[in-house]
Amino acid sequence: MSFVRLREIPRTISFRTALMSLALFGFSFLALFGYVYWQTAGYLAHQTDKALHRQIENRSRQPPEERLRELGEHAEQDAEQRTPHTLFDAQGRAIVGPIQSLPAFTGYDESNEFVWRRPNGHSRPIRFVIHPLEDGTTLLVAQDIHSIREFDELLVNALVSGGSLLLVAGLLGAALLGYSARRRLDTLSCSIERIIKGDLSNRLPTLGNGDDIDRIASVVNGMLDELERLMSEVKGVCDDIAHDLRTPLTRLLAGLERTQRHALSQEEYACAIEAAIAEAHGLLQTFRALLRITEIEDSARRSSFTQVDLGRIGADAAEFFEPLAEERGIALEFFPGSAPSHVAGDAQLLFDATCNLLDNAVKFSPDNARIQVTVIAEPGRIGLRVADNGPGIPEAEREAVFRRLYRSESSRHTAGNGLGLSMVAAVARLHDMILEVHDAQPGCRIDLIQARLG
Amino acid sequence: MTHVLVVEDDLITAREIDAALRDHGFDVTCSGNGRDALVQAIGETFDVIVLDRMLPGTLDGLGMLTALRAAGIATPVLILSALGELDERVRGLRVGGDDYLTKPFEFIELTARLDALLRRCVAQGPARDNRLRVGNLDIDLLRRSVRRGDRPIDLLPREYALLEYLAQHADQVVTRTMLFEAVWNYSYDERTNVIEVHMSRLRRKVDGEGEEQMIHTIRGAGYVLRSPA
């Protein structure tokens, strides 16, 4: 397992995403908490103000003597000075109450706060309201708001500590996410590197949970399957080529060497040269056919597709082969489809494919056989069918006949390079068509069919 | 004498083409790269140019052809290429090529196509008569009917097309490939033996009992329609 360097973590997408959500979450946390704080503090101040105004109302209704007496009693009873109400004379001197001088205030009957230095040296936050009385004195009603302040502080502390906890946990989580993503990607790139180095059987690891990386990995694995199939096919073809081309080359060489050894007459030379040319032509033809299949398999050809009438293709091919069939006494019939049969395709390739099928049918059918070319135009499927009543293709060989250079045992002695049906298969693949071999009882029936949507 | 410019970078192929064309009675100038060939093609007058698609240096075959056409020179060009597929062909013809031949090719195919190109250029001049006559063979191009002497010949549409093409190129070798492309409108494939059957059918109808042979088979190459001597 690979080692993940710490400084690589911040570059991972997971880490960045986690960081982003952390920032978003932190912001909403702050907003929510701020709102709660603002509401609570406001509520407490409001409650205090209500009590202070009630006090003023009660006091101002009392006659001055009673008020003075009750304030004095209150000052004595309130030893902790939670509500240090004080009465001042017109000159601002305290008459009764613990506060010695009028604190600065913004206006009568308005709530103000100040820090009161008590005679014992302690400072206390005080919320107060000042009210002028009708006898010229000034009443200050006050409330110690130390506990409210403490509560506020508690709230802020909770905010700060909770926030930091959140930040730390979030950062750790993000780093962890980044780390795991990094490690996963490192495993993937390791596998890919191994594949690049040539181990095509290797696959990307998947967790099977269907997440994004898993999905990409399985797509890549699918691609690798296809690649491996192609590679093995290429290797198979190379082996086949090596084998199949060696035979004619050996024949060619043997013929030339024999002529060289027994140089006889002018005529024999001419004969030998002709035979050599024929062999060389055969070789070239095989190469050409192989190249052609390769070119067909390049799906870039799809860009040149046009609307092609399969009926027209079938008719052209049947007409083209008609004299050849007639020469062999074979009845070649063409049945046009009952409905229009247009497909997107390459007319040249479809014609060639149909010709290849017909070529095989004519080649392998006995004299006086019957060959039928039919256009299939049914709802849901469209295509061409070539059927004969010849020997047919044995069940076991129906897959193999589409392999390049494959020649069945029974066809080894007939002319051909084993590429005709491979070419048809390549054309079918290019056109998203299915190529099916059926038993025509007796004979062979090959369907080239495109499934139609709708 | 017909003067041909051969642009081919492979020396051996160039020599073979040179020899084959000289045998055919052409005068040949060879050039190994696109730049020199362009200068030569613009400076001298050639009847036809054989151009390899792949050339060394900055100017490849198609580039040279494009430049040639841009310079207003309409000399017919036959493109030679190892790239045989349809798209490549179309590209070659689109930039101004007149014919396209895929390597490996047979020299008889090359000379036959060059003859056809040269003939086409001559034929483009005067307005075409709507009758074709080769010897005592008389083809009515409008009614698509054929007579040999007094004997009407009844032909299937495809047979008529074959004969018309042969008559248009009378006394010239026409390869099976050329026939296939001209008559069936599909490009070349290896099905030459099928064309042979079509041709033997046509021959049976054209060269009747006791008549002198007009359609001749050129072994390993194709066919030629000749007036009886």
Shared domain for A292 and A310, answered yes or no, is no
* Partner-chain contact B87 A284, CB within 8 Å: no
Q: Are B169 and B225 spatial neighbours (Cβ–Cβ below 8 Å)?
A: yes
Interface contact A327, partner B, CB < 8 A: yes
Q: Is residue A306 part of a domain?
A: yes
pLDDT at B131: 82
Shared domain for A168 and A284, answered yes or no, is no
pLDDT at B190: 63
Nearest-CB residue to B158 (from A291, A304, A319): A319
pLDDT digits (tens, 9 = 90+) for A348-357: 889 989 998 9
Interface contact A414, partner B, CB < 8 A: no
Across the range B206-219, mean pLDDT stands at 87
How far B41 CA sits from the closest chain A CA (Å)?
Answer: 32
Which run of H or E residues covers position A295? Answer: helix A266-297
Q: What gap in Å lies between CA A157 and CA A141, rounded to an integer?
A: 31
pLDDT digits (tens, 9 = 90+) for A430-447: 888 988 888 878 888 999
Interface contact B84, partner A, CB < 8 A: yes
CB atoms under 10 Å from CB of A368, counted, come to: 10
pLDDT at B85: 62
pLDDT digits (tens, 9 = 90+) for B11-26: 898 999 999 999 988 9
Q: Are A377 and A339 spatial neighbours (Cβ–Cβ below 8 Å)?
A: yes
Whether B184 has a pLDDT exceeding 90, the answer reads no
pLDDT at A298: 75
In chain B, % of residues over pLDDT 70: 91
Nearest-CB residue to A321 (from B87, B190, B194): B194
pLDDT band at B127 (very low <50, low <70, confident <90, very high): very low
How far A331 CA sits from the closest chain B CA (Å)?
Answer: 16
Exposure b/e, A208-233, CB count within 10 A at least 16 = b: eeeeebbeebeebbeebeeeeeeeee
Nearest CA in chain B to A353: B189
pLDDT at A148: 87
Q: What gap in Å lies between CA A18 and CA B78, rounded to an integer?
A: 66
**CATH class label, B3-123:** alpha beta
In chain A, % of residues over pLDDT 70: 95
pLDDT at B224: 92
Q: Kindly state the tokens that stand for A325.
A: 């069939």
Q: Are A116 and A54 spatial neighbours (Cβ–Cβ below 8 Å)?
A: no
Shared domain for A147 and A107, answered yes or no, is yes
pLDDT digits (tens, 9 = 90+) for A5-22: 777 777 878 888 888 988
Q: Kindly state the tokens that stand for B41.
A: 């093609």
Residue A216 is part of a domain; what is its CATH number?
Answer: 1.10.287.130
Model ipTM value = 0.74
Domain with CATH 3.40.50.2300 in chain B: 3-123
Range of the domain at A309: 301-451
* Partner-chain contact A288 B190, CB within 8 Å: yes
pLDDT at B188: 62
Average pLDDT, chain A: 85
Whether B193 has a pLDDT exceeding 90, the answer reads no
Sort out which chain A residues have CB atoms less than 8 A from B104's CB and list them: 284
Sort out which chain B residues have CB atoms less than 8 A from A352's CB and list them: 186, 189
pLDDT at B125: 44
Split into its structural domains, chain A has a count of: 3
**CB < 8 Å from A in window 185-224 of B:** 186-187, 189-191, 193-194, 197-198, 201, 220
Whether B124 has a pLDDT exceeding 60, the answer reads no
Q: What gap in Å lies between CA A55 and CA A301, rounded to an integer?
A: 96
Nearest CA in chain A to B82: A288
Task: Using the Cα atoms of residue A339, residue A340, residue A346 and residue A348 in order, give the sign of their dihedral.
Answer: positive
Across the range A363-387, mean pLDDT stands at 89
Across the range B29-40, mean pLDDT stands at 89
Interface contact B87, partner A, CB < 8 A: yes
Q: Of A184, A251, A239, which is closest to residue A1 (Cα–Cα)? A: A184
Q: Which residue has the tokens 């979450």?
A: A25
Sort out which chain B residues have CB atoms less than 8 A from A323's CB and list them: 194, 197-198, 201
Shared domain for A111 and A130, answered yes or no, is yes
Sort out which chain B residues have CB atoms less than 8 A from A278's CB and list them: none
Sort out which chain A residues have CB atoms less than 8 A from B108's CB and list them: none
Average pLDDT, chain B: 85
Sort out which chain B residues have CB atoms less than 8 A from A291's CB and list them: 84
pLDDT at B17: 92
pLDDT band at B84 (very low <50, low <70, confident <90, very high): low
Whether A451 has a pLDDT exceeding 70, the answer reads yes
pLDDT at A415: 65
How far B73 CA sits from the closest chain A CA (Å)?
Answer: 30
Q: Are A389 and A369 spatial neighbours (Cβ–Cβ below 8 Å)?
A: yes
Task: Using the Cα atoms of residue B67, residue B68, residue B74 and residue B77 in order, give the sign of their dihedral.
Answer: negative
Q: What gap in Å lies between CA A30 and CA A28, rounded to an integer?
A: 5
pLDDT band at B5 (very low <50, low <70, confident <90, very high): very high
Shared domain for A284 and A343, answered yes or no, is no
Q: What gap in Å lies between CA A308 and CA A312, rounded to an integer?
A: 8
**CB < 8 Å from B in window 225-264 of A:** none
Q: What gap in Å lies between CA A100 and CA A122, rounded to an integer?
A: 15
Shared domain for A15 and A64, answered yes or no, is yes
Across the range B156-168, mean pLDDT stands at 90
pLDDT digits (tens, 9 = 90+) for A26-55: 899 889 988 988 998 899 889 999 999 998
pLDDT at B166: 92
Nearest-CB residue to B194 (from A301, A320, A346): A320
Whether A211 has a pLDDT exceeding 50, the answer reads yes
In sequence order, what E strands does A45-122 have?
86-88, 94-96, 111-117
Q: Is residue A154 part of a domain?
A: yes
pLDDT at B160: 92
Q: Are B25 and B2 spatial neighbours (Cβ–Cβ below 8 Å)?
A: yes
Shared domain for A180 and A265, answered yes or no, is no
Q: Of A171, A123, A160, which is closest to residue A145 (Cα–Cα)? A: A123
Across the range A275-282, mean pLDDT stands at 85
If phi > 0 it is left, if psi is from -120 to 50 it is alpha, else beta; for residue B109 that is alpha
Exposure b/e, B135-174, CB count within 10 A at least 16 = b: bebbbeeeeeebebeeeebebeebbbbbbbbbbbbbebbb
Cα–Cα distances (Å) from B59 to A135, B34, B50, B91, in that order, read 115, 5, 16, 16
pLDDT band at A110 (very low <50, low <70, confident <90, very high): confident
Across the range B196-207, mean pLDDT stands at 90
The region of weakest confidence among A206-210, A412-416, B160-164 is A412-416
pLDDT at B202: 92
pLDDT at B22: 92
Interface contact B151, partner A, CB < 8 A: no
**CB < 8 Å from B in window 279-298 of A:** 284-285, 288-289, 291-292, 295
Q: Is residue A187 part of a domain?
A: yes
Q: What is the pTM assigned to this prediction?
A: 0.61
The region of weakest confidence among A30-34, A336-340, A440-444, B184-188 is B184-188
pLDDT at A374: 93
Interface contact A144, partner B, CB < 8 A: no
Domain with CATH 1.10.10.10 in chain B: 131-225
Sort out which chain B residues have CB atoms less than 8 A from A359's CB and list them: 191, 194
Interface contact A324, partner B, CB < 8 A: yes
Shared domain for A262 and A359, answered yes or no, is no
Q: Is residue A204 part of a domain?
A: no
pLDDT band at A94 (very low <50, low <70, confident <90, very high): confident
Q: For an interface test with A, give the residue of B81, B83, B87 to mutate (most A CBs within 10 A).
A: B87
Q: Is residue A171 part of a domain?
A: yes
Whether A414 has a pLDDT exceeding 80, the answer reads no
Q: What gap in Å lies between CA B226 and CA A51, rounded to an integer?
A: 130
pLDDT band at B123 (very low <50, low <70, confident <90, very high): low
Higher pLDDT, B128 or A391: A391
Q: Is residue A341 part of a domain?
A: yes
In sequence order, what E strands does A23-88 have?
86-88
Q: Identify the architecture of domain B131-225 in CATH.
A: Orthogonal Bundle (1.10)
pLDDT at A453: 62
